[in-house]
Structure 1
Amino acid sequence: MLRSCTLLFLGICLTATAQVVPTFDDLWIPMRDGDSLQADVYIPAGVDSAQVVLVQTPYNKDLYELGLPMGIGWNVDDQPYIWVFVDWRGFFGSSNADPTGSTRGADGYDVCEWIVQQPWHRDRIGTWGPSALGNVQYLTMAEQHPAHACAVPLVSDPQQSYRSYYTGGVLEQARLNSLTLLGFGTFALVTANPYYNTLWQLTEASTWYPPTIAIPTLQIGGWYDHNLDRMLDLYAGARAEADTSVRDEQWLLIGPWVHGGTGPAFVGSAVQGELTYPTAERVNDSLAWRFFDHYLQDVPNGWEATPRVRYFELGGSGLWHTTNDADLGDPSTTTLYLDDNGGLGSWNGTGSTMFTSDPADPSPTIGGATLSLQLDQGPYDQDPLDTRSDVISFRTPVLSAPVQHTGRARLDLRVSADQPDLDIAVRLVDEYPDGRSMLITDGIRRMRLRNGYTQADEAFMSPGTVHSVEVELPFTCYTWQPGHRIQVMISANNAIRYHVNQQNDGPMYLPGDTNIAMITVHHDLQYSSALHLRGSNAPLGVVGQGAVPVHVHPNPASDRLFTEGLRGRWQVIAMDGRKVLEGDEVEQGISLGSLVPGPYLLQARDGQDDLVHVRFVRQ
């Protein structure tokens, strides 16, 4: 079982049946504690000596006999580097080495020391690898072997942090189970510490590696990778805290990619989930080759002029963006308010929306930034969720212009319920003209931890009380195209990716009784709920499906307000949420004589029966 799992978690595409034969197979590399690690070495034909690319893996070095990474496959002789693959201490060929005898970083240093003593090694070593193979590169970098010249970690985050296991205070259970299955003994420690505490503080401080970086790196990530958010923090840390001699030699590439290892998609493949990104295919490999050629072979390929950050725009444009800034986020904010009848627009909403949550039948995970053999990865159609009674959706009118977002979206909600605890799970979606609801990103927050993640922060909900909660979504770059809709789905579960809340006031993560919760999301003027996107966009919610503009005039108005593009029953709402006027038709205009001067919202339907709000001023 472990072998089949490690094949999936390699993060490379292995489709052939033939094998690559190592030049040296099952070599033993001595470590400082007296143990040895097992390694394979691949040397191109006719090469006496060359620069080395080192890969340290817990997933079985022998699997690379099915094909080498970075697009090499079986063509070892068609590239200039010697490749060394080493099994981690305690894993596969190195399973007899005592896992407590040394550290991963010290082992990496000792492997480098062995390499430089080999007659086929020239003078420099680069490192490469995804996921755990990327994490170990940071540990090796921290030891600062003089021959270690550069590193390419992919979809990796070496910091052991509270938020890497608990998203919004909710255990990412499926990923933790996967790590346990793969032999990483973190389950007991993580589950014993569900609150942020001193142990987490010490662990985070001891595994924060940017200050130890003293060589150039090319970090490669994907928008659908679970590590992406923390990887961005790691990159910003490297730009600010790495050795001053290399702070300007830290590069970052972010594509439309998943973490890989649990399905057909991988970093660099064109197909990701149910979507295809042809302009992103193998961009990671081409950039890594240029990086290695520059730092390992002094090839004059213009690498030094490469922008420090290159990132892909999701949403169908196929565009790549570049910047030299470590912070990619758009400083502007576009706020969209949740509204009655599932609306989402630029003006404060009205009313509230109720749904139920039954822990015995949780809303399921469909794609996303997952890591589990039981779950799909990447963008998948969320439409099956729309038919469930435990999921509510809010949509903009059909867009007449693109809406751009680069950063961490945030959903600020006002919530009440009849149970002391529950989770708020949010999915940000692009609703296509053909009806598909493609997942962009998602987040979750445990209500008892809405004020913070320490045990002292814990506060249960009171029945009948409206509570504020903030759900932050991972960083992404997305553009909704004209003809599409922005959609937000809200539920109380995202299972099996996240632990299912029992919705009681008992201890978390222990067996107990479960409660069905009646949950109300409030979205009126007194208790507004809103989605905050990062981007400068025109106000939304005033254009219907037919892209017919909605106008009111004059604005400000004194005695009478006239409209264009609205029909049927209407309401005028004061800024405190009171309904102050209503009527059946707007064609003859609206008499404002009874209103005191001030701002108001006109609520009505457009020609496509979309609910819209238009702000006006009575003077």
Structure 2
Amino acid sequence: MFNVTMSDGIVLTTTLWTLRSVKFNEKSSFPVNYQSFPYNYFVEKAIVLQWATALLLKTMPQHAILIQHMRGNGSNTGKFAGFHQAQDIADTVTWLKQQYWWNGVLFGTGKSAMGVMSYLSALVNVPMRAQSVSIAAADEYKLIYQNGAFRSALVNGMLKYVNQTDYNVTYIDHEDPGPWWNGTNLDGHYAGVKWPAVHTAGWYDVFQQDTLDVYHGYRTQSDPEIRDLQFLIIEPKGHCFAGGAVKWHNLALAELSTLASTFAGMLFGVLADAVNVPKFEAGLELLRSLSKQIPRVFWYVMGSGLHGAKGNWIAAADALPTPTPTPMYLAPHKTLSEVVPNQSSAFSYVYNPEDPVKTLGGNNMGAPPALTGMANLPCGPWDQLPVNKYRTDVLVFTSEKLQTELAITGRTKIVLFVSSNVTDTDFTAKLVDVFPNGTRLLLQDGIQRMRWRYPHKGPQFMSPGEVYKIEIDLWSTSYIFMPNHSIGVDISSSNVPQFDANPNTGYPLKVTSRVPYTLLANNTVHTGLDQASHVLLPVVPLDSVAPVRDKIMQNLLPHFSTTADGQPTLAAKLRALGEDVSQ
């Protein structure tokens, strides 16, 4: 264990974990896998054991994990600062350069909060060789506020887990996406990424869209030399450990998890000895030759789970299929139409912040309380009928029954024309699969806080009675609707505790969180003619989400484990070739 002093004098506890077989002497050195860590020792040990069994023993026995506890964590000095800690990564690398046991090869890994810090290392130009990040974000503001709405369940649970509940006030006091958030997102900084990476996302994960956006940034804006060495794996769950009403295919989940560690092993194994530029470039070239043989994106295609239904399998391609944005319009009689209604309609309801719509499913932390100490908020694809029952503040729209399968993959958005009698309120939207028996299975949901619809312009208040056009981002999904099912959209103004209930007053969150005061909002959704509210579905051809050929999985996975006759695997052969490159 080391006490590492940062450039501002703060001392951070830092632990080096290795296998017992690793010998420490002046003649030996090894690569380091760095993780910035907000949790306690017991979680640290569990994570180390997981990595040791999944990665170290298989690909790099001469490999160390360096776990550094963040500011204000445990016995560390300094105050907890959320994810405003990227400079500490740079300071730690400066310290590493003075250690005889480091060979100069740095890998970045992390899941959840550790993954956030790993992504943010690109802000400080660390000499990374490769990276594997799972279910993480790279924009702290969007992590805390989704389209202006405070993500209360996520923030409160996360801070409770790391024993930093007092920091909740700090987040509340910085509702405006202004300079305070500088240094906590990668926008405009992707050119600093100069290494290959494996990204793992989850369709129902709390960080889902940000993980996908980061992958896109790495793929299109990073150093051109490594853009083709980015791999993406999308499972259904993410932080949603408990699942939902649909039982996902366990074998497919296991294969996706294996793929994630497989790709990480491939990158880390080949680049473990890339101690200089020639070896690094040679390793990249070897990885390029391998990457030509396999898809870059593997994702789970979800389905209803009913007998004979399509979906709940793995698809693979060099990129997610390009969808055709297909509108379905909110129409009279609360239907969904493929054409713009030729008459205008208005659907109104009263939103009472003191009686909000309750969260049931979606992109939430779904871990059991015994594991995290958080409330067990249901996550994943849950039936919304119990949520909507007896409520007059949820507008439920349903299409005609589908005649054929309909596949969607990509980002879903809902465009609404709305008005209210107050200066600020929320509008929420859910995309659901409506089963023949009436079940409304949640696929994705979203929210828009009206005063933050143009976040970088500051609060923009409504004029009572005026109609505004807004766009609610429902993030991304991959799903197959079956014949005899319908497409559904549910509109309301609250989803608690996933988001805090908007009190409709327009006051800043730092005021309303301390002085409870609410107003009733008479909210209206307008449809038809030039106010044609609609959902934009990311429709793709059915064959673009077909299950990956079994041969791909059978041929890919054995490359990174010991062969039956004990012969070197492909990854080992590539690494051996890299060792022939001299400085």
Note whether the superposition's TM-score is higher than 0.5.
yes
User: What CA distance in whole angstroms lies between the structure 2 residues aligned with 1:424 and 1:98?
Assistant: 36
Structure 2 CA distance for partners of 1:513 and 1:64, relative to 1, 3 Å: closer
Match of 1:414 among 404, 414, 417: 417
Q: Tell me if structure 1 keeps the 8 A contact 2:159–2:168.
A: yes
Deviations 1:250-300 (A, max 9, x none): 22222212325xxx44xxxxx566532335313444223333433333398
Q: Tell me if structure 2 keeps the 8 A contact 1:258–1:378.
A: no
**Residue 378 in 1 paired to residue 374 in 2?**
no
Match of 2:216 among 220, 225, 236: 236
- The Cα of 1:501 is off from its aligned counterpart by 1.4
Q: Which stretch of the first structure deviates more once superposed, 479-488 or 466-475?
A: 466-475
Q: Tell me if structure 1 keeps the 8 A contact 2:175–2:508.
A: no
Classify the secondary structure of the residue corresponding to 1:413: strand
User: What CA distance in whole angstroms lies between the structure 2 residues aligned with 1:61 and 1:209?
Assistant: 33
Q: Which residue of 2 aligns with 1:458?
A: 460
**Residue 486 in 1 paired to residue 487 in 2?**
yes
- The Cα of 1:216 is off from its aligned counterpart by 1.2
Counterpart code for 1:495: V
Q: Which stretch of the first structure deviates more once superposed, 480-489 or 236-245?
A: 236-245
**Residue 130 in 1 paired to residue 111 in 2?**
yes
User: What CA distance in whole angstroms lies between the structure 2 residues aligned with 1:407 and 1:231?
Assistant: 13
Which one has a larger percent helix, Structure 1 or Structure 2?
A: 2
**Residue 39 in 1 paired to residue 39 in 2?**
no
**Residue 304 in 1 paired to residue 305 in 2?**
no
User: What CA distance in whole angstroms lies between the structure 1 residues aligned with 2:517 and 2:105?
Assistant: 60
Deviations 1:462-515 (A, max 9, x none): 23x443332221122222122322111111101111121122354455235322
Match of 2:522 among 496, 518, 521: 518
**Residue 529 in 1 paired to residue 533 in 2?**
yes
**Residue 443 in 1 paired to residue 413 in 2?**
no
Greater relative contact order structure (CA < 8 Å, 6+ sep): 2
User: Residues 393-432 of structure 1: matches in 2 within 5 Å?
Assistant: 393-432=396-435
TM-score, structure 1 as length reference: 0.70
Which entry has the higher C-alpha Rg, 1 or 2?
1
Q: Which stretch of the first structure deviates more once superposed, 338-347 or 44-53?
A: 44-53
- The Cα of 1:458 is off from its aligned counterpart by 1.0
User: What CA distance in whole angstroms lies between the structure 2 residues aligned with 1:67 and 1:495?
Assistant: 32
- The Cα of 1:66 is off from its aligned counterpart by 4.4
Q: Which stretch of the first structure deviates more once superposed, 513-522 or 102-111?
A: 102-111
Counterpart code for 2:211: M
User: What CA distance in whole angstroms lies between the structure 2 residues aligned with 1:36 and 1:443?
Assistant: 38
Q: Which residue of 1 aligns with 2:348?
A: 354
User: What CA distance in whole angstroms lies between the structure 1 residues aligned with 2:60 and 2:530?
Assistant: 66
Q: Which residue of 2 aligns with 1:227?
A: 207
Deviations 1:325-347 (A, max 9, x none): 4xx46342211111222211213
Structure 2 CA distance for partners of 1:454 and 1:169, relative to 1, 3 Å: same
User: What CA distance in whole angstroms lies between the structure 2 residues aligned with 1:239 and 1:98?
Assistant: 35
- The Cα of 1:73 is off from its aligned counterpart by 5.9
User: What CA distance in whole angstroms lies between the structure 1 residues aligned with 2:315 and 2:464?
Assistant: 47
User: Residues 161-240 of structure 1: matches in 2 within 5 Å?
Assistant: 161=141, 163-181=142-160, 182=162, 183=164, 187-200=168-181, 202-203=182-183, 209-240=189-220
- The Cα of 1:139 is off from its aligned counterpart by 4.0
Q: Tell me if structure 2 keeps the 8 A contact 1:222–1:258.
A: yes
Classify the secondary structure of the residue corresponding to 1:493: coil
Deviations 1:210-263 (A, max 9, x none): 222122111111111222222222222222332233222222222212325xxx
Structure 2 CA distance for partners of 1:394 and 1:85, relative to 1, 3 Å: same
Classify the secondary structure of the residue corresponding to 1:63: helix
User: What CA distance in whole angstroms lies between the structure 2 residues aligned with 1:184 and 1:103?
Assistant: 23
User: What CA distance in whole angstroms lies between the structure 2 residues aligned with 1:56 and 1:507?
Assistant: 33
- The Cα of 1:172 is off from its aligned counterpart by 1.7
User: What CA distance in whole angstroms lies between the structure 1 residues aligned with 2:217 and 2:51?
Assistant: 30
**Residue 95 in 1 paired to residue 76 in 2?**
yes
Q: Tell me if structure 2 keeps the 8 A contact 1:506–1:512.
A: no
Match of 2:100 among 117, 129, 148: 117
- The Cα of 1:42 is off from its aligned counterpart by 3.7
Deviations 1:349-370 (A, max 9, x none): 3543332211111001112112
Classify the secondary structure of the residue corresponding to 2:478: strand
Counterpart code for 2:475: P
Q: Which residue of 1 aligns with 2:326?
A: 334
Structure 2 CA distance for partners of 1:198 and 1:276, relative to 1, 3 Å: same
Structure 2 CA distance for partners of 1:122 and 1:383, relative to 1, 3 Å: same
User: What CA distance in whole angstroms lies between the structure 2 residues aligned with 1:199 and 1:96?
Assistant: 22
> Which sections of structure 2, spanning at least 5 residues, go unmatched?
272-285, 305-310, 367-373, 543-583
Q: Tell me if structure 2 keeps the 8 A contact 1:54–1:127.
A: yes
User: What CA distance in whole angstroms lies between the structure 2 residues aligned with 1:83 and 1:94?
Assistant: 23
**Residue 278 in 1 paired to residue 250 in 2?**
yes
Q: Percent of aligned positions with the same letter in both sequences?
A: 23
Structure 2 CA distance for partners of 1:303 and 1:256, relative to 1, 3 Å: farther
RMSD: 3.5
Q: Tell me if structure 2 keeps the 8 A contact 1:67–1:74.
A: no
TM-score, structure 2 as length reference: 0.74
Which one has a larger percent strand, Structure 1 or Structure 2?
A: 1
Equivalenced residues, count: 494
Classify the secondary structure of the residue corresponding to 1:138: helix
- The Cα of 1:137 is off from its aligned counterpart by 1.8
Q: Which residue of 2 aligns with 1:367?
A: 361
Structure 2 CA distance for partners of 1:188 and 1:524, relative to 1, 3 Å: same
User: What CA distance in whole angstroms lies between the structure 2 residues aligned with 1:59 and 1:486?
Assistant: 42
